[in-house]
Amino acid sequence: MACRAVRDHPSRALNRKTRGAPKDKRPCLPEEPMTTYEIQHMRGWRRFARTVRAASRAEAERLCLPWEWVDGEVLAVIPAEAEVAERWQRLNEDLVEGLERLRRDE
């Protein structure tokens, strides 16, 4: 049996407290969802990126370019700055048109 000093060391406290405890009493993940940054640094970027892969090459092309292939799967989809700016501009134009249409219809 371990001597008392080793058995009661603070580093063993969490393990000792949770061993055999009911599941609802064990420490668990926070209620609010973790950020992308937290997930990346908890599990490592490559493992995280595989969970965010697009379904197919066509899907990756639909989302935006460029992409990186690893083991036949999309590792990451990174929008080009110009494309992002263009999409925002289109969204803003659509929003303005929609608001003008609403004003005319009233």
Amino acid at 42: M
d(CA 36, CA 26): 25
Q: Is residue 17 in some structural domain?
A: yes
pLDDT in tens, 8-59: 555 555 554 555 555 555 555 555 666 666 655 555 555 445 545 545 555 5
| Residue 86 resides in a domain | no
Pair of tokens at residue 25:
């009493």
CA distance 76 to 69: 8
Q: How much is the mean pLDDT over the chain? A: 62
Whether residue 45 lies inside any domain: the answer is: yes
103, part of any domain: no
Q: What is the pTM of this model?
A: 0.27
Does position 102 have pLDDT exceeding 70, yes or no? yes
Residue 62 lies in a domain: yes
Tell me: pLDDT of 81 over 80: no
Range of the domain at 65: 4-77
Q: Provide the terminal-to-terminal Cα distance of the chain, rounded to the nearest Å.
A: 82
* Beta bridge partners of residue 36, listed in sequence order: none
Percentage of the chain with pLDDT > 90? 4
In a domain, 9, yes or no: yes
Q: Is 33 within a domain?
A: yes
Provide the pLDDT confidence category of residue 65 given band limits of 50, 70 and 90. very low
Does residue 55 sit within a domain?
A: yes
pLDDT value, residue 32 = 61
Tally the domains of the chain.
1
Residue 100's pLDDT band (cuts 50, 70, 90): very high
Q: Which helix (H) or strand (E) holds 82?
A: helix 81-105
Continuous segment of H or E residues that includes residue 67: strand 67-70
CA distances from 65 to 10, 24, 58, 60 (A): 50, 44, 11, 7
